[in-house]
């Protein structure tokens, strides 16, 4: 028995307040212009009724000013739109940028001066970026600062034409087909220090031996060696001081699967993943996957594209980890290098069961932008500054990652601001060990 296909549910309607704001914004006349229009119309009606020539002429001057400024603003917008279409009509080279860093887009617009018209305002709608013209330039050279990492195939700009009195505002959207990629800022994260903190002690030659390996090898004595390790029988025969040494360790075979967990405040985590990918710590073709793209990729450029696009999947961070393991693991025991946000979020409830099921398989890098440790605020300060958001201190981040520490998986906390690294859990987490500026403390 066949059933008719169900119709797709209608898209959710925008809230009334948002739709009302959109309608108000679409009207080109501003509140000041609407007031001038109402006042001029009322004065004109009053002057005609009372046959007052002065009031009638004043009303006509107000209406003429309103019409003149509107025509100037509309003409300014039309000319700017034509210039923008000419300058951005052809496909330009891909725009590579770093979030929160100024970059020139290559767009140059002429400066036009029209009476009663202000300079048109240019803004980026997609991807979101702040636009600032180049300083000390006779032309309007566009420079942008991306607020977040982004990946797009099209730039959507908005032009706003206004008059000098603020009576009118006309807007128009101009799309441009151009590839854009904004990557996270690495900050003070260092590839060398990440490699030091991610070293897990290697696999031992004989798994039933002690953690550091059996004393089955020997080498020449040095001043720092304890006397109990000296081979006295060898010294008696050859007169050479030799000491016992641990068996050589073997590095684990195979590269891990690098997975980025998206979530609120994941900028530093994305920066750590970028450092690991670009530095080649685990080879040039390290398998990479992230939320929204669970199929691992080996090409560096594709991996960076997925990293930039993962910003769209913050609401479902960690939900694709199981799929990535099923698609990217050649064997069940393949190691996984997990990069997560340093702050707790909804992603933790999705990632924690996966890590707790096999903690020895995971090495976790939690990255965040930590702030300085602030003294406890008083009652008056909390009341006055309760809306002021401060970055969490390093110690607060450590406490927030306690559920991951409890699993026993190796966990490294990284601060993008200072470059500080701390091993919170794992074989070397006695202390914990802290790495800063290349020095182990």
Cis amide prior to 413 (ω within 30 degrees): no
The pLDDT of residue 7: 43
Segment-wise mean pLDDT, segments of 10 residues, the chain, 441 residues: 42 56 70 92 90 90 93 93 84 87 88 88 91 70 91 92 92 91 90 69 46 62 79 86 70 73 91 90 84 90 93 90 77 80 90 89 88 57 56 80 88 88 65 37 32
The pLDDT of residue 97: 93
The pLDDT of residue 88: 80
The pLDDT of residue 18: 58
The pLDDT of residue 204: 42
The pLDDT of residue 202: 46
Residue 368's beta-bridge partner residues? Answer: 415
- Of the candidates 161, 370, 354, which has an alpha carbon nearest to the alpha carbon of residue 257? 354
pTM above 0.95, yes or no: no
Number of residues written out for the chain: 441
The pLDDT of residue 269: 93
Q: How many CB atoms lie within 10 A of CB 375?
A: 6
The pLDDT of residue 274: 93
């Amino acid at each position: 028995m066949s059933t008719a296909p169900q119709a797709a549910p209608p898209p959710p309607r925008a809230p009334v307040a948002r739709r009302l704001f959109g309608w108000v914004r679409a009207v080109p006349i501003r509140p000041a212009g609407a007031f001038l229009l109402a006042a001029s119309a009322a004065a004109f009606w009053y002057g005609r009724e009372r046959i007052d020539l002065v009031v009638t002429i004043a009303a006509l001057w107000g209406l003429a000013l309103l019409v003149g400024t509107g025509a100037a603003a509309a003409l300014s917008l039309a000319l700017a739109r034509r210039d923008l279409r000419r300058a951005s009509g052809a496909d330009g080279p891909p725009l590579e940028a770093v979030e929160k860093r100024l970059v020139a887009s290559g767009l140059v617009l002429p400066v036009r001066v029209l009476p009663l018209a202000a300079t048109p305002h240019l803004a980026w709608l997609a991807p979101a970026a702040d636009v600032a013209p180049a300083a000390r330039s006779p032309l309007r050279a566009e420079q942008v600062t991306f607020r977040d990492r982004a990946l797009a195939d099209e730039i959507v700009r908005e032009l706003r034409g206004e008059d000098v009195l603020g009576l009118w505002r006309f807007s128009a959207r101009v799309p441009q087909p151009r590839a854009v990629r904004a990557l996270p800022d690495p900050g003070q994260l260092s590839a060398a220090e990440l490699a030091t903190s991610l070293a897990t002690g290697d696999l031992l030659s004989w798994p039933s031996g002690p953690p550091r390996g059996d004393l089955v090898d020997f080498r020449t004595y040095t001043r720092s060696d304890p006397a109990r390790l000296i081979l006295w029988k060898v010294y008696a025969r050859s007169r050479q001081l030799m000491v016992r040494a641990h068996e050589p360790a073997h590095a684990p075979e195979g590269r891990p699967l690098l997975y980025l967990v998206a979530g609120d405040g994941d900028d530093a985590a994305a920066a750590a993943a970028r450092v690991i990918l670009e530095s080649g710590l685990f080879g040039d073709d390290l398998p990479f996957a992230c939320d929204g793209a669970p199929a691992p990729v080996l090409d560096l450029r594709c991996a960076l594209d997925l990293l930039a696009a993962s910003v769209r999947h913050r609401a479902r961070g960690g939900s694709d980890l199981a799929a990535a393991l099923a698609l990217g693991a050649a064997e069940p025991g393949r190691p996984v290098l997990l990069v997560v946000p340093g702050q707790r979020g909804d992603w933790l409830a999705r990632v924690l069961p996966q890590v707790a099921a096999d903690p020895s398989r995971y090495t976790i890098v939690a990255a965040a932008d930590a702030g300085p440790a602030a003294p406890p605020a008083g009652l008056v300060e909390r009341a006055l500054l309760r809306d002021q958001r401060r970055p969490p201190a390093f110690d607060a981040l450590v406490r927030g990652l306690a559920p991951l520490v409890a699993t026993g998986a190796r966990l490294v906390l990284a601060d993008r601001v200072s470059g500080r690294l701390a091993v919170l859990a794992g074989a070397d987490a006695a202390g914990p060990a802290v790495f800063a500026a290349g020095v182990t403390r």
